[in-house]
Chains A and B, each alone.
Chain A
Amino acid sequence: MDILIFSLFNGILYGMLLFMLSSGLTLIFGMMGVLNFAHASFFMLGAYFAYQISKFVGFWPALIIAPVVVGVIGAIVERYGLRRVHKFGHVAELLFTFGLAYVIEEAVQMIWGKVPVSYHIPEVMNFTLFSLYGLEYSAYRVFMLLVAVSMFVALFFLLTRTRVGLIIQGALTYPNIVASLGHNVPLVFMMVFGLGCALAGLAGVLAGNILGTEPGMAIQLGPIVFVVIVIGGLGSLNGALVASLFIGIMQTTAVSYDVSMNGFLNVIGVQVDFDSAWRMLVDLTVAQISPILPYLLLTLMLIVRPRGLFGVRDV
């Protein structure tokens, strides 16, 4: 029971971190149809900017300034890069963002060097808020959770309850009609891309000090955000939320249980020979394979339901 509650709680904390990382990506894809390979790089930029800004003015201004700067960079990238490749189709866009990821990584290395920088949790938040089964949870972790939740709520309201959201959704489905009504559709696209990048930047500010801020962080993070948005359904904000929470809880639970196939086989009375090649496979515990579970889920999802949990169109 203890493990269950712990898994649920920690899974939610971790899942909301995943949601923060992937919400910007799914927003951009859902609204613009652009699969942004450089998403994790904007996340990295957010972490580095936060490190640099918090050195001068502290963490709290950095929490606001860094995502804004990342968002502005994103908007510029859309205006002068992506918009030009857009007319050549999705492959060109994909290749563009793919190359952009490398450019950002090299730029980061040139500016901040190749070794990790010392970006840490702010002192005021570095105290224990409560303990659960002997593990302490710092105020910062809970703060991250709150930011992630408010991020979801704000995005949800923006897109479904405001005039701006209506125009955005309209512009994405019927750009010509919205344009003929007098709205500036390219501007809308630029804003959406900028917002998506700013969200990635915000995630970088909040997670950079927990995961470590180094030039390799974007590459390490790349795959998992794609898993989240594919399982959730490309372009679905709700889907991303559900998929993040699901993966978070699943991984935490898997690590917590040392159950192997062999144990299960023994219970039903099957013995696997110690020297057999199968032995290695059945001896694997759930904990050991936990990090690949999301990818397993991804492939299963693509086979069974290619549009993902909440998606409206196939991948």
Chain B
Amino acid sequence: MRIRVVLASLLGLALGSFLPPALAADDPIRIALIEPYSGPLAAVGRDALEQFEFYADRINEAGGVLGGRKIEIVAFDNAMNAEKTTQQLRKAIDQNIRYVSQGVGSNHALNIIKALQKYNRRNPGKEVMFFNHSAVTTSFTNKLCMFWHFRFDHNVDQKVAALTTFMNQDPDVKRVYMINQNYAYGQSFQKAAHRYLKERTPKAKLVGDELIVPFGKVLDFTPYIAKIKASGADTVLTGNWGPDATRLITAGANAGLKVKYYSIYAGIPAAMNTMGTKVSTFTPVMQITESHENDPDEPEWLIGIENDFMKKYNKSTYADRVRIMFEMIVKAFNSAGSADPAAVGYALEGANGRSAKGEAWMRPDDHQIHFPMVVSHISEDVKRPFIYNGENYKMAYKTDGWIAREDMVLPSSCKMKRPKK
């Protein structure tokens, strides 16, 4: 008897879930954010979610989009498992969500792109849009490009090209040693570095090129430090992140190795905290980002937003690209006058947004964003030290120079098929 009741109610539930919820004009526009919220990289995923909710709240407080519709962020946990990302995407689509976003891990982004290529072809009129906020594999806006993918971060090739552009102006750079992680991302960094060192830093001599087994497998970096020392290098160019970056730099500082590190991720806030002020500032640890809080030319409006973020989460901001992304999306919704992904996609093509220094621009040909980037090093001598969950790291970034948006432009091999307008 009881079983029958349970079954009946289950059946009712199942039937109910098949009925598509009625779509009203004032329903919120939902964006699924698929990131790791559990497992070893959960902190990265949660930080991203916090940022998303922060900007969604701001938009909603200012009246939402399309004359009053709210933005709602729906979190889906992939536990850093790429298979699970595909499952969660399916779940989001089942809930009639038309916009997904992701950024932590290019293999996850690749799964979303592959799944959406199929789904969108088979379900015309119900297409799902992918806003990629941080996955940087170059092919996403080249060979693998599609109309339903927009990237709001520069790809690996662009970042390496920008770093090498800057390195050419740096009088300290003469002999460069490369050290990278032996997997897809590290290899693409290495390939790009070979190419752009030749093109953009012709004055430098490459004196070493090393691939290491990635993800914390190397415990002792001293032998690598000995090799760098023996090569006479004054600069280390590396795509390493996580323990592979912090252990390298820590081992170097402990061995008294005075080189400049040029990197993308070696100086991210978590790395800074792992290494401590002594190691982080022993020798210049340089990185390239879209902005940072201690840049002397930071515009007032951006400082205002950063202060609001600090008030709400007791944290400094780091990835300003998420803000750029939200501002551009809102504009696209309003100018398209519709929440339909195809219309929004067309509105985003060639659209502009405000970056910390000048305009951001979404290139229509391959849906790759372009904005100026800043090269900085870690320093204790800063006005606004980095704060994470109330903990003061007693250091932050100091500007060395800017790379103009024109220098971020690279050719793309993208041939995009577009939907009917």
Contacts and interface: CB of A to CB of B under 8 A. Distances in A.
B243 A212 contact: yes
B212 A14 contact: no
B25 interface: no
Given A14-B219, A291-B218, A117 B273 contact: yes
A224 interface: yes
A116 interface: yes
A256 B226 contact: yes
Task: Give chain B's interface residue range (CB within 8 Å of chain A).
Answer: 35 or more
B276 interface: yes
Contacts of B271: 116
Contact of A116 (B182, B226, B255, B274): B274
B226 A6 contact: yes
B247 A141 contact: no
Nearest to A214: B274
A292 B215 CA distance: 13
A136 B388 contact: no
Interface residues of A, number: 48
A10 B246 contact: no
B407 interface: no
B273 A291 contact: no
Interface string A87-125: 000000000000000000000010001111110110000
B216 A220 contact: yes
A113 B226 contact: no
A256 B227 contact: yes
A315 interface: no
B40 A215 contact: yes
A281 interface: no
B147 to A, nearest CB: 36
A227 to B, nearest CB: 12
Contacts of B255: 135-137
Given A113-B43, A212-B247, A17 B226 contact: no
Contacts of B247: 210-212
Interface string B262-276: 000000001101101
Given A136-B256, A287-B210, A115 B270 contact: yes
B197 to A, nearest CB: 20
A127 to B, nearest CB: 11
Contacts of B254: 121, 136, 138, 140-141, 210
Contacts of B215: 220
Contacts of B250: 210, 212
Contacts of A164: none
A291 B217 contact: yes
Contact of A126 (B225, B273, B278, B389): B278
Contacts of A224: 219
Contacts of B223: 7, 10, 251-252, 255-256
Contacts of A121: 254
A212 B220 CA distance: 12
A216 B216 contact: yes
Given A113-B43, A138-B254, A118 B222 contact: no
Given A131-B256, A133-B226, A256-B227, A118 B220 contact: no
B126 interface: no
Contacts of B226: 6, 10, 133, 135, 256
Interface in B170-192: 182
Nearest to B256: A136
B254 to A, nearest CB: 5
Nearest to B251: A210
Interface string B39-75: 0101100100000000000000000000000000000
B222 A17 contact: no
B229 interface: yes
Contacts of B227: 255-256
Interface string A246-264: 0010011001100000000
A265 to B, nearest CB: 21
A275 B87 CA distance: 39
B42 to A, nearest CB: 5
Nearest to B246: A212
Nearest to B214: A291
B257 interface: yes
A211 B270 contact: no
Contacts of A288: 182, 211-213
A8 to B, nearest CB: 12
B119 interface: no
A211 B243 contact: yes
Contacts of A134: 229-230
24 contacts: A7-B223, A10-B220, A14-B220, A115-B43, A116-B246, A116-B271, A116-B274, A118-B393, A120-B279, A128-B256, A133-B229, A136-B255, A210-B250, A212-B246, A219-B40, A251-B220, A252-B222, A252-B223, A255-B224, A256-B223, A256-B226, A288-B211, A288-B212, A292-B213
Given A220-B217, A256-B226, 13 more contacts: A7-B223, A115-B270, A116-B271, A118-B273, A131-B256, A136-B255, A137-B255, A210-B247, A210-B254, A220-B216, A252-B222, A255-B227, A292-B213
5 closest Cβ pairs, A-B complex? A136-B256, A220-B216, A114-B43, A255-B223, A291-B213
